[in-house]
Amino acid sequence: MPVIQELHVDGGASVNAVLAPESIQNENTHTQVGECSSSAQLLKFPPAVKVRGRPRLQTKKTAIGQTRSANKMCVPYKQKRVYERTLTLVRSLVTGVRPEDVNNTNPVGPQHLRLQPDELPSIILHEDVVLSVIKPLVTPPAWKKLNSALKERRKMNLWKCSCCCKDTAETNCVECDSCLEWYHWQCVGIERAPRNEWYCYVCKMNL
């Protein structure tokens, strides 16, 4: 049963307070704890998820968000497939159009070819190059003018640096193993002949 207890407050006054027995207080405490325990049992938590680290991207991208191409390496001209050899030739000859857009149904005309004998690339003079592979990719008038310019170029016996367009006869030069063009050492920043295959910056950019 309740217990009446006299309590003294500030100022000397006394107040009678009704206190619940200790057993009742304990019972109320146990009841509240029991209700909390029941509520906790009713809570449903999501299942645990295993942490596997940062997910890998399916497609690698560059710092500016563009799709990064797969790792590719330059290969010597001799090791290229027919399509790759043809594209290398087209890149060295056409101007004003994208080399990738040139095909059998869209041949290039004389206005988009380098036809001046002294401007022809060194690759068409190389012994490993078969120029006829690009014949289906140019119009008949363009093919005729290209062969005429090639004959004049062979008579000139001229080899130019593909970077500065100056003669390569008077200084050390290096040939790109991919596009077969010649470069002055100074133009490409080397000081001695490469021991292995060497590739110019143009071929590296076109990967």
Per-residue pLDDT reduced to its tens digit, 177-201:
999 999 999 999 999 999 899 999 9
CATH of domain 77-205: 3.30.40.10
Instruction: Indicate the range of 32-36, 92-96, 166-170, 172-176 predicted with least confidence.
Output: 32-36
Residue 181 CB neighbour total at 10 angstroms: 22
Q: What is the pLDDT, as a whole number, of residue 171?
A: 85
For the segment 19-33, the average pLDDT, to the nearest whole number, is: 51
Band of the pLDDT at 70, cuts 50, 70, 90? very low
Write down the pTM of the prediction. 0.62
Where do the structural domains in the chain lie, given as residue ranges? 3-35, 77-205
User: In the chain, what are the helix, strand and coil shares in percent, each to the nearest 5?
Assistant: 40, 15, 45
* pLDDT of residue 102 exceeding 60: yes
Q: How far apart are CA 23 and CA 96, in angstroms?
A: 99
For the segment 72-100, the average pLDDT, to the nearest whole number, is: 91
E-strand stretches of 62-155: none
